[in-house]
A and B are shown apart, each in its own frame.
Chain A
Amino acid sequence: METLKTISGYFATIGVAFTVGFLFMGFRRILTARVQNRVGPPIYQNLLDIIKLWSKESAINHGLMQHMGPAFSITASVTTLMFIPVLRDGNWFQNFSFEGDLIFLLYIMVFGQLGMALGAGQTGNPNSAIGVSRGLSQIVGYEIPFVLALTALMVYHETTSLHEIMAAQDSIGGWNIFVNPLAFVAGIIAFLGMTHYTPFDVPFAPAELASGPPSEFGGKYLGMMMTSGSIFAFAKLTLFVNLFLGGASNLLELLVKALALYLIPVIIGIVTPRFRTEQAILFFWKWPTIIGILSILWVVWMR
């Protein structure tokens, strides 16, 4: 009975993550449309897209690695989700979050992109290769401020466990966004890079690269990648809520906090043009890195 409850908990988490993920993305589409003076699709449009993609038939393939790419991608998304505590306390939605720590999350989060890159590589499409080259370069850019922000938090709280970082932020004044605002700024700028929205969408660059790495993937492959994308978006948002906004005690609170965070890349994305790859990398290595270093110095000084 206990096992059944645990296993259904896993599926519930994945279900919640998927639903919230596609709703948020639908919300972004509506918001973008309104800014561009369009009506936009309904909020559940992404779900319709995913259902449509899953029901399509593919006729061709380019080999085994192409099949493994989307599988790697969903592996990374679901594993990331499973090792992040969705709620502060209670038995639900904890999954495997006691079994791993932040260093593990750092690495498992890039696993999907590397796997996707391998899958895209086998298709032989030059657009995919160009996209991968840009995407991997951009990772080296935004991971630096991200790690700086995480290090600042880990050192301040003297733990690498998400649970303990959450537990330490027991009141609003104790939230890391207020305790160490510099780390939050560095982290959120890195988060802009992670979402791959403008100004950092050069790896996928619609209209230039024919959507880059996924250009040879259609039907169920694309469906699986979109599913994975929705889950991953939720996982990343939850991670940032846990790190900076003190986590959430119930799903509603989580939704509000996650939406607030999600609006930052969305709103910035709507109004900015695209960075070139080297501009993006240099941007990440400049201001967010300086802010990140200051945040660590701040923590060292506070201790």
Chain B
Amino acid sequence: MDITGIPFFLAVSFGGAFLAYLMNFAHRFLRNAVVLLTVSASAALLFWLGDETFSMEMGGFVLTLGKTPYSLFFAGIVALLAVPTVLFSFTYMAKEERPAMYYLNLLITIAAMYGILFSLDLLSLFIFWEIMTWSSFLLTIHKGGNATKAGVKYFLYSAAGAYAILFSVVILYNMSGSLLIEDVARSFVLQNPLMQLMLAGTLLFGFSVKAGLMPMHGWAPDAYAESPAPFTALFSGALSKMGIFGMGMVLYQIFLQSPFSLPVRELLAWAGGITSALATLRAIQQTDAKRLLAYSSVAQLGYIVMGLALGTPLSMMAALFITLLHGVFKAMLFFAVGAVYFRTGLTDLNELRGLIRRMPVSFLTVLMAIISLANIPPLGGFVGKWLLYESLIQSDHYFLVIVAFFSSTASFLYVYRLIFSIFLGQEEKEFEHVKEVPFLTMQLPMLALAAVTFITGIFPGIVLAPISSALTYLGFPIQHDMWSMSMLFNEWGNRMNLLAMISVIGTVFLTGFTILYFYRMRRTRYVTTKDIHTSGEVPTENENLTYAINFYQPFERAAHPVLSKSIRAWIDWIGRSVSELGDFLRHIYTGDGQTYAWYVVLFLTFMLAAGSWIL
């Protein structure tokens, strides 16, 4: 077998999963070695992947695999997050039950994502899509208990999306007689516009379920909150981006020529904007760290959809850049929250506090990640948002700018609450013995990703190069004057010099910090957080000085008209009604033979009575 071919690549990815499962019976170190080797081997093989496509006939259908620059970019994201994820899992999962099952599903999920990306036809895409859904479902319910409920919810949403995709795939196959995406695209333009609209609509619906676009986001908060933390990082960082991959493919490879393309994209852009604003407001309300991050993921995916739907070269660059960056910083945040959970067993923001001196590396990780998430220069998040805002303004979407900017500013609120509640504020006796997580398996993945946010903030060209080739493949005219290694340009010819930015920020910060640190802190002595200005009153040992519960009460009061409504509550209400209907039906279908016998007797009596009456 050719080792630069895609079959070999997928064989390694899937084979490693089963090998790791078998190795579990030998020794856990052996298993871990296989797991790590599998993901790093597939990450390395990405670099040597050959250009040839590979076809295989199965049951009368031809499955075609091959790489495109577009899929390679997404595969890069998967690989970038997969390695830290398994590394982080090693220690994290040592405490949890059924690790063998966890690694099997994790590796299958990763392999299935590669499969989706390297599918050139719709059937193999669908097959891998279902494998990914199944294995990620099993990972979601790994903890049992509440997780099962969250998992079933995730699965139901995914199933709805998958059927929508399957529906379109079948019709598209009937229309074009081929499953290859390029053939489908060619015959798609010949269909009548309404048919095109319906097919693209169902496909987009199916993919947007995975991306968690409102109102199809209902699964995300529960599934992200209940799944094991290292997997959640991959779940939110990479798996949900498969939806974005699919939407990009539908919008620009299949649907672009349709007369409905522009209105649909406009609608999608607004859906993305509203998603980001509403999900941000929800995130501000959350008291559980993982749920907060879950809503934040929904919001960030909203930005990506916005950029994707606008369809200008600059906005596409923004969308793909945020896709990568969101993966990186959200993985850091889920890792750090996982690290805190690993040491304290808590994710509740009302209970956690003051861990900064106990877990400084986790704190640094969260700090870097939230600076990136809040789009503040000089980290990578800023570059993505800069591109997005420029493209929004220049494509005349003025009100979308306001929506996007609102959610971006409001995100300061929840990121501050996250870092404040966990790491800052009063230090408590309860957490006195908490230690920082181990270096190699937990700190290293976090720090490595933190380095990525820093480097991409100064040299975004590293990421913009593969993005340009991906966009060129999708048919966008990307000129060389649109970006350079550390310089960004908009369509009006204005520029942003990131090297100048980092030199100013770096110089001033280092000067200021040096003055305060070496000149001051060395001469001062550390005092506890009880030793503070309290207007002359001396707080006793057990006095509670924490302000963490209901942290944004004033803001929630102001935003109450929006916050008091909920889409999820409506959908949950439908769910509850169905389940109540089921309960009612249980009174009839009791499962007891005696009752059924009575029904038969009653029915016969009724028939006899009715018959005799009619006759």
Question: Is B289 interfacial (CB 8 A cutoff)?
Answer: no
Interface residues of A in 73-121 (CB under 8 A from B): 74-75, 78-79, 82-83, 96, 99-101, 103-104, 106-108, 110-111, 114, 117-118, 121
Distance (whole angstroms) from the CB of A133 to the closest CB of chain B:
5
Q: For B424, give its contact among A83, A99, A121 (CB under 8 Å).
A: A121
Q: Choose, from A26-34, A58-66, A168-176, the stretch at the interface.
A: A58-66
Docked-complex contact B547 and A133, CB < 8 angstroms: yes
Residues in A whose Cβ lies below 8 Å from that of B504? 78-79, 82-83, 96
Docked-complex contact B420 and A129, CB < 8 angstroms: yes
Docked-complex contact A151 and B557, CB < 8 angstroms: no
For the complex, give the distance between the alpha carbons of A134 and B360 in Å: 27
- Known contacts A59-B524, A147-B401, A151-B401: does B558 contact A282 (CB below 8 Å)? yes
Question: Is A226 interfacial (CB 8 A cutoff)?
Answer: no
For the complex, give the distance between the alpha carbons of A281 and B406 in Å: 12
Docked-complex contact B513 and A278, CB < 8 angstroms: no
- Known contacts A124-B529, A147-B401, A160-B490: does B412 contact A281 (CB below 8 Å)? no
Question: Is A126 interfacial (CB 8 A cutoff)?
Answer: yes
Q: For A63, give its contact among B374, B526, B531 (CB under 8 Å).
A: B526
For the complex, give the distance between the alpha carbons of A103 and B504 in Å: 17
Distance (whole angstroms) from the CB of B514 to the closest CB of chain A:
9
Residues in A whose Cβ lies below 8 Å from that of B555? 133, 137, 140, 277-278, 281
Docked-complex contact B386 and A104, CB < 8 angstroms: yes
Residues in A whose Cβ lies below 8 Å from that of B419? 118, 121
- Known contacts A65-B424, A123-B529, A144-B402: does B356 contact A75 (CB below 8 Å)? no
Docked-complex contact A136 and B398, CB < 8 angstroms: no
Docked-complex contact B521 and A61, CB < 8 angstroms: yes
Residues in A whose Cβ lies below 8 Å from that of B545? 124-126
Distance (whole angstroms) from the CB of B615 to the closest CB of chain A:
75
Docked-complex contact B525 and A61, CB < 8 angstroms: yes
Docked-complex contact B409 and A132, CB < 8 angstroms: no
Interface residues of B in 387-433 (CB under 8 A from A): 389-390, 393, 396, 398-399, 401-402, 405-406, 409-410, 412-413, 416, 419-420, 424-427
Residues in A whose Cβ lies below 8 Å from that of B552? 133, 137
Chain B residues touching A, range: 35 or more
Docked-complex contact A100 and B500, CB < 8 angstroms: yes
Beta-carbon nearest neighbor of B425 in chain A: A124
Q: For A108, give its contact among B377, B385, B533 (CB under 8 Å).
A: B377
Docked-complex contact B412 and A70, CB < 8 angstroms: no
Residues in B whose Cβ lies below 8 Å from that of A253? none
Residues in A whose Cβ lies below 8 Å from that of B520? 58, 61, 67, 220-221
Question: Is B532 interfacial (CB 8 A cutoff)?
Answer: yes
Q: For B516, give its contact among A70, A118, A129 (CB under 8 Å).
A: A70
Beta-carbon nearest neighbor of A129 in chain B: B547
Docked-complex contact B533 and A210, CB < 8 angstroms: yes
Docked-complex contact A59 and B357, CB < 8 angstroms: no
Question: Is B494 interfacial (CB 8 A cutoff)?
Answer: yes
Produce 1/0 per residue, A140-164, CB < 8 A to B.
1101100110010011001111001
Question: Is A216 interfacial (CB 8 A cutoff)?
Answer: yes
Residues in B whose Cβ lies below 8 Å from that of A274? none
Docked-complex contact A151 and B508, CB < 8 angstroms: no
Docked-complex contact A210 and B532, CB < 8 angstroms: no
Interface residues of B in 461-498 (CB under 8 A from A): 490, 492, 494-497
Question: Is A16 interfacial (CB 8 A cutoff)?
Answer: no
Q: How many residues of A contact B (CB 8 A)?
A: 78
For the complex, give the distance between the alpha carbons of A130 and B553 in Å: 10
Beta-carbon nearest neighbor of A65 in chain B: B356
For the complex, give the distance between the alpha carbons of A151 and B398 in Å: 7
Residues in B whose Cβ lies below 8 Å from that of A277? 554-555, 558
Residues in A whose Cβ lies below 8 Å from that of B501? 79, 83, 96, 99-100, 104
Question: Is A51 interfacial (CB 8 A cutoff)?
Answer: no
Residues in A whose Cβ lies below 8 Å from that of B386? 103-104
Distance (whole angstroms) from the CB of A95 to the closest CB of chain B:
9
Docked-complex contact B377 and A104, CB < 8 angstroms: yes
Docked-complex contact A158 and B416, CB < 8 angstroms: no
Produce 1/0 per residue, A242-255, CB < 8 A to B.
00000000000000
Question: Is A72 interfacial (CB 8 A cutoff)?
Answer: yes
Beta-carbon nearest neighbor of A160 in chain B: B494
Docked-complex contact B393 and A155, CB < 8 angstroms: yes
Docked-complex contact B402 and A75, CB < 8 angstroms: no
Q: For A159, give its contact among B382, B494, B553, B558 (CB under 8 Å).
A: B494
Docked-complex contact B492 and A159, CB < 8 angstroms: yes
Residues in A whose Cβ lies below 8 Å from that of B525? 59-61
Can you list 29 contacts pairing A with B, beta carbon distance less than 8 Å?
Answer: A58-B524, A60-B524, A60-B526, A63-B357, A64-B517, A65-B356, A65-B424, A67-B521, A78-B504, A103-B389, A103-B390, A104-B382, A104-B386, A104-B496, A110-B376, A114-B371, A114-B376, A114-B416, A121-B424, A122-B529, A124-B532, A129-B420, A143-B409, A144-B409, A148-B402, A161-B494, A277-B554, A281-B554, A281-B558
